[in-house]
Amino acid sequence: MSKNKDDDLISSAFGRAFELGGLATRMGASFLGGKMKLPFVDELARSDFLNQIYIREAERLVERLSHMKGAAMKFGQMLSVMDGMGSGVLPPEVASILSRLQKDARPLSFETIEPVIDADLGERRDQIESIDREALACASIGQVHRALLKDGREIVLKVQYPDMPRIVKSDLKNLKVLVTPFAALFGIRNMDDIWREVEARLHEELDYEREAAHIKRMFECHGSNGDVVLPAVVDELCGPRVLAMSYVPGLSGEAVLDDAVSQKERDRWGGVLAKTMLENLFVHRFMHADPNFGNFAFQDDGRVVLYDFGCVKQVPDELAEAYGKSARAMLDDRLDEVPPLLREAGIGMKDGSTLGRGFVVDHAKIFNAPFRASAPFFQFGSNPELNDEVWKLAREYWYESLAIEFPADILMIHRTLAGTMGNLSKMRATADWRGILSDTLERAGY
């Protein structure tokens, strides 16, 4: 594979700054213009007016970010996983546009990647019999190549793109300028706290030694769980920019959606996905926080493989407890208990008061929809009316939402929740969701 334009853009700090700086300027002007016009738009038409701005700018964002790596592409992908059923974060049209960033990541040439392998492994590369020149998978920070060791083991090498720390630092500086108009439009006042959370997670993704530790810790969480499969770290072939792991195959997310796969199989895998995510949130309080469908594989015996532990989230105890107790209260229809629970975790109105009861009751109706107590159980992705209700609710409470404050910690938690629901919707999965949630809450003590 010869070098391509993406290889050149990786190496050019000026080119990346120019791309992101220009994008920030154009999007900032568009959102500022929209915000200035908003008071003059009829109240009933305001949501559609804002929706059109989002669609136009989402197209612009995807066109620019699809050929970039680093924090630029990761930022777009973080937005794109918020298209889960029930997320209510983005209009469906915008979510569909952004979802292209999950598919448009293109690998760099092996000529660009190989020097990173050589520099990190040195003489240890002699343990490797061969490395596939074609990437098995690629993402925003690095790409994965299969390899065969001289002792016969099949492994994968996750290799970081060249000069990623400098690129991520530069991208983050420019992206903050780009994101500010979004924050202003939503009335978000703790943008600095939120941005620190984004920065922390992205800088962690650069640390492959930390990612190896994440995998080992996740083994401790799920070692006795026969439904979850994790790659094992091959310590002797790891370095700061190369992470070696055992090769664990399975059906890709795209393959799982093929008509040849039975819905019964998808239902079983969907139940495992939901159970694993909920256990990570409430029991282990340590979340695999990158729900890109490409980070999972599915095995014939019903087990689910988890890949990519660069982005994880240690869930603060107070948030896990507030969410756990709130989920239990909503399941039991004790809605008056929810606002003060969330207020204790920092989620409430900016004036210090709790969320309004109407806000909680209407959102609880959406929350409880998948959790009916008896069969037939809810099937994700089969109820477009519910998706419409989610977006209708977001519009109805648009202005009240502007006055809500929340801790930055919920960013990755909600990203994972929304992304998981999106994956379940793609699979059109059916399971006893109430039983899965209730059992997990009971294990966690709620």
pLDDT band at 199 (very low <50, low <70, confident <90, very high): confident
Write the CB contacts of 170 (distance below 8 Å, at least 6 apart in sequence): 13, 16, 17
Task: Please count the helices (runs of H) and the strands (runs of E) in the chain.
Answer: 18, 12
Are the C-beta atoms of residues 429 and 270 closer than 8 Å to each other? yes
Please state, in angstroms and as integers, the Cα–Cα distance from residue 377 to each residue in 88, 117, 270, 354, following that order. 22, 49, 13, 33
Residue 439 has pLDDT above 60, yes or no: yes
Q: Return d(Cα 43, Cα 53) in angstroms, integer.
A: 16
pLDDT tens, residue by residue, 216-249:
999 999 977 789 999 999 999 999 999 999 999 9
Task: Report which secondary-structure segment, H or E, holds 242.
Answer: strand 242-246
DSSP codes, 42-65: -GGGHHHHHHHHHHHHHHHHHHHH
- The token duo for 330 is 């909503």
Q: Where are the alpha helices (DSSP H) in 132-262?
A: 164-185, 191-205, 208-222, 253-256
Are the C-beta atoms of residues 46 and 54 closer than 8 Å to each other? no
- CATH number for domain 109-160+207-248, candidates 3.40.190.170, 3.30.70.260, 3.30.200.20, 3.40.190.10: 3.30.200.20
Phi, psi of 131 (to 5 degrees): -130, 130
User: What is the reported pLDDT for 442?
Assistant: 97
**What is the residue extent of each domain of the chain?**
5-103+166-183, 109-160+207-248, 251-446
pLDDT tens, residue by residue, 383-415:
777 767 776 777 677 777 778 888 888 888 988
Place of tokens 């993704």: 205
pLDDT tens, residue by residue, 1-52:
455 555 544 545 545 554 555 555 555 555 445 555 545 455 545 455 555 6
pLDDT band at 189 (very low <50, low <70, confident <90, very high): low
> Looking at this protein, which amino acid is placed at residue 1?
M
**Three-state DSSP state, 243:** strand
| Torsional sign, CA 425, 75, 210, 158 | positive
**pTM value?**
0.79
Q: Return d(Cα 140, Cα 232) in angstroms, integer.
A: 22
Distance of CA 51 to the CA centre of its chain: 22
In terms of Cβ atoms closer than 10 Å to its own Cβ (0-12, 13-18, 19+), residue 86 is buried
